[in-house]
Amino acid sequence: MSGVDAALLRRLRAEGRAVVGFSIYDLEQGIGVVRAAEAEQLPVLLQAGSSAFRYAGREPLAQLALALAREAAVPVGVHLDHATDPAEVDACLRLGYTSVMFDGSALPFGENVRLTRAVVASAHRAGAWVEAELAGIAGDEDESSEASAGALTDPAVAARFVAETGVDALAVAVGNVHGIPAAPVALDLERLERIAQAVGVPLVLHGASGLPDAEVQAAIALGVAKLNVNTELRRALRGALLALAADPPAGDGIAALLGGAIEATRQAARDKLLAFTAEGPTIAATAG
């Protein structure tokens, strides 16, 4: 089965829909996400990214995700999330990643443009699409920290950045944070609408885990075509492991020990897929 390409991303935006990118750290999470996608017959992204490499190693985790994608009965893309080193991007492209995110948000604008443009050229030669970031998104993607929103994406600067780099998708900061926010988040939908009109490419919303479904659905209606989810999967896995410790099964069979982690991940992924990508009426955004 083919992966999630740039054409699908553009079509999803045109239809007011989105694909979910789930960050994974191990085999159990990967299996759970793919099973959820197959059951709902929906495309999905396995995000085996830079921070997860520190846990599992780049090539082992990458090859695991790529194998799951090849065997899936629905389109599954393998995405490099939050790469800050072009060499890491090139390594993942050689392995067969179908999309990459270069995060130059901590760099001066000109340097971000220069490096992102080079990543776009490399990725497009490899048949992959590129997501980039302009204004950094607050919070820690690997911890459910109580973050507060930081700087917001400027629509005019975003338009210039997209035009100068040729990226296929842009991650936006419109009040969203990585992890679970310290206080309830209200997305700046008016700003999001202006960004969408200015840049013309599909937008990406990081930190979808900590947002009410209605907020996310409103963002999708305004041009967000990719959503990142991490916290719910980590919490599902943690909950399954703690339950196992409290009431361990008899024997030491691995399937009995880890099956609950897979099932918990599958259910968490399914909940997000149904909330954000299933067929149904679109919740209209009330921007302005």
Q: In whole numbers, what is the pLDDT of the chain averaged over residues?
A: 89
Mean pLDDT of 113-139: 89
Closest CA to 148 of 188, 185, 196: 185
* Residue numbers annotated as active site: 81
Query: Model pTM?
Result: 0.88
Residue pLDDT, tens place only, 22-72: 999 999 999 999 999 999 999 999 999 988 999 999 999 999 999 999 999
Among 1.10.3720.10, 3.40.190.10, 3.20.20.70, 3.40.50.720, name the CATH number for the domain at 6-276: 3.20.20.70
CA distance 176 to 139: 9
Give domain limits for the chain: 6-276
Buried b / exposed e along 44-54 (16+ C-beta atoms within 10 A): bbbbbbbebbe
